Amino acid sequence: MLHSSIRPRAAVAAAPALAATAGEYSSDEMLVERIAAGDKLAMQVLFARHRTNVYRWLFRFVGNETVAEDLLSDVFFDVWRQAGRFEGSAVTTWLLSIARFKALSARRRRTDVELDETIETTVAASADNAEVALEKKHQGRCCAVP
């Protein structure tokens, strides 16, 4: 069950230190510009502002706290790397589109693993069935009356 108090563990510790600094950065767009220029503090402020909402969205999508936390890190790592490519739309929309891509990729990877496991099980079961069928065929030949 999703609670309104769900927050990524690492983010809870950093929140008080960044609260005072966050007032110095008026808009998310300004933060992204500063991040593109390599401003680590701007990155921390953007993370502090948006981590909880992005995390909650990811958690609802993947249904696993650990996976959601990993994806949250991936989202903000991409923000750091791609801030220079930001095209001026709403930062929240941009963050959630990155989160959506990451979550879909994670779901696809999980589905691929599940399919691989299903295929392995099916192939193993088929191999057993083929061996049994071959054994029966062999026994039938040996025991057949000429």
- Given a contact cutoff of 8 angstroms between Cβ atoms, the answer to whether 13 and 48 are in contact is no
Tell me which architecture the domain covering 9-143 has in CATH. Orthogonal Bundle (1.10)
- Given a contact cutoff of 8 angstroms between Cβ atoms, the answer to whether 103 and 58 are in contact is yes
Is the pLDDT reported for residue 81 higher than 60? yes
Supply the pLDDT for residue 60: 95
Supply the pLDDT for residue 1: 47
Which letter does DSSP use for residue 83 in this model? G
In the chain, what is the straight-line distance between the N-terminal and C-terminal CA atoms, in Å?
70
Alpha-carbon torsion angle 28, 33, 90, 88, nearest 10: 160
Domain coordinates of the chain in residue numbers? Answer: 9-143
Range among 7-11, 13-17, 63-67, 104-108 rated most confident: 63-67
Q: Please give the Cα distance from 100 to 69 (Å, whole number).
A: 14
Q: For residue range 110-142, what is the model confidence (pLDDT) as tens digits?
A: 764 554 555 566 555 555 566 776 777 767 666
